[in-house]
Amino acid sequence: MTKKFSILFTSILVFSFLQMDCKDDPPVVPPIIPPDSTSQEFTIQVFEVGAPHTFQITRDVWVFDKNNIWVVGDFYLSDSTVSGGTRESNIIRWDGKKWYQYGPFFNSSGLIGISAIDSSKLYLTDGLVIKYDGVFNRYNFTSMEFKPGQNILKVWAINENNIWGVGLNGMVVHYDGTSWRKLNFPEGWGFGSISGSTKNGFGYAIASSIESDIIVELRPDSAFILTTYPAVNYALDAYTLTDSTLFISGNPSRIFNLNTKKDTVIHSFNNPWPQMTAFHTKNDIIWLMFDSINRKYSLRHFNGNRYRDIALLQQYSEQVFYHGSYASNNFFAFVGDADNGKSVILLLTRR
C-alpha cells in the first residue's frame, strides 16, 4: 500500500513539473500534406492496328467515352469480303471491344484533324473541312482563294457557330454558322495545333517556322501574334486556363499571361524531351516524351502537386511518330505510326 502510494505521488510530482516546465511551449502541429489533386494510377493499353504488310497513316484522335473513340488517318484493315482481303478507310472507331472501320473513304492522303462538339457533331479535315452529324458533308470552299501550299490541317469547334481551321503557309479560316471566311496572316508559318476558349470564343494556335514558334490569338475578324519563341525553346500546344492565361506545352512548358504577354516557366525538360501533350486541366497533364539517346518513349504526369514518370513497356526498333492526342477526366490518348507499318494507339484509363 505504501509503495503504491509513493509511486503515485512521485508520478504526480513529475507530471506537474513537466506541465510547469512546458507550459509556454506551443503545441506541436503535424505538417499538412496536401492530397494529390488527381490520381496518378493508370491502366495502359497499347493497340497496333492494321492488316499485315500494309502501312497506316495515323493523325488524330477524339475520345467520347471508353466505348466510343474515333481515330482518323488512312488505314488498311483485314476484310475478307473485298478483293485483296484488305479495305482502305479514313476512320477507325473503338466500341469497347474492337476497332472497326467507319464512314466513307475520302482519299489516300488520309484525314488529318478531328474536333467535336458532342458525339453527334464532329468536324474533320483533309485539307478542307468535313462535318459529320449522322452523315458526312464537305463544306464548299470553292469561292475562297487558297495560295500555293495552303490547306486546312487542324480544326477546333467551340460551338456550331464558332469553328476555327488552321494549316500550312499561314492558313487561317473561321466559320460563323453561315459561311467560312479566310483571315489574313503572313505566309511561311505552318500551324500544327489549335484549341479554343469557351470563355471568350477565341482560338489559340501554335505556328512554326525554321527559326521560331509563335502563339497566335484568333478572333472572328483577325489573327495576330501574341509572342515568339526561338526554336530551341519550342512550343507544342496552347490551352486556355483562365480568361487571362494560357498553358503552353513545350520545352519549357509555361503559363502565358494574355494581359502582360509574359511567361512563367513551370517545367523544363532535359532528355527525354516532350513530343506531345494531353492536357485536361492545369493539375492533370501528361507529356509523351522521347529519349533521344536510348530511343524510348515514356510518359510524365503532373497532378498539381507532383510529377510521376511512367515507363512504356512496349517499344519499337525505330521512333514512333505520334501525331495526335486527347485528354478528359478519365481518359488520355496518343496516336501515331510505328516502324512496322501499324497504327499505334496508346490509351490511358485512370484507376
Q: Which helix (H) or strand (E) holds 208?
A: strand 203-208
Residue (of 141, 222, 152) closest to 186 by Cα position: 222
Question: What structural domains does the chain harbor?
Answer: 48-285+319-350 (2.130.10.10)
Exposure string (b/e) for 286-317, b if CB count within 10 Å is 16 or more?
bbbbbeeeeeebbbbbbbeeeeeeeeeeeeee
The backbone torsions φ and ψ at residue 131, rounded to the nearest 5 degrees and listed phi first, read -105, 140
pLDDT for 20 equals 45
Q: Which helix (H) or strand (E) holds 8?
A: helix 2-22
Compute the chain's Rg from CA coordinates. 27
Per-position DSSP letters for 128-189, written without gaps between them: SEEEESSSEEEPP-TTSPPPTT--B-EEEEEETTEEEEE-STT-EEEE-SS-EEEPP--TT-
pLDDT for 320 equals 82
∠ CA 44-45-47, nearest 5°, is 150
What's the pTM value of the predicted model, to 2 decimals? Answer: 0.87
Q: Report the residue count for the chain.
A: 351
pLDDT for 296 equals 87
Any idea which residue has 513551370 for its cell? 266
pLDDT for 329 equals 85
Give the list of residues 6+ apart from residue 7 with CB closer than 8 angstroms, or none. none
Give the list of residues 6+ apart from residue 30 with CB closer than 8 angstroms, or none. none
Q: What is the DSSP letter of 127?
A: B
Grid cell of 13 as nine digits:
510530482
> Are 249 and 273 in contact, with CB atoms under 8 Å apart?
no
Give the list of residues 6+ apart from residue 244 with CB closer than 8 angstroms, or none. 257, 258, 259
Residue (of 88, 94, 90, 45) closest to 69 by Cα position: 94
Grid cell of 225 as nine digits:
501574334
Return the bridge partners of 288, or none.
276, 299
pLDDT for 21 equals 47
pLDDT for 90 equals 98
**pLDDT, averaged in runs of 10, over the chain (351 residues):** 36 39 51 61 92 93 96 95 92 96 95 97 98 97 94 97 97 97 96 92 95 96 95 93 94 96 95 94 94 90 94 73 92 91 90 69
- The CB density around residue 225, as the number of other CB atoms within 10 Å, is 13
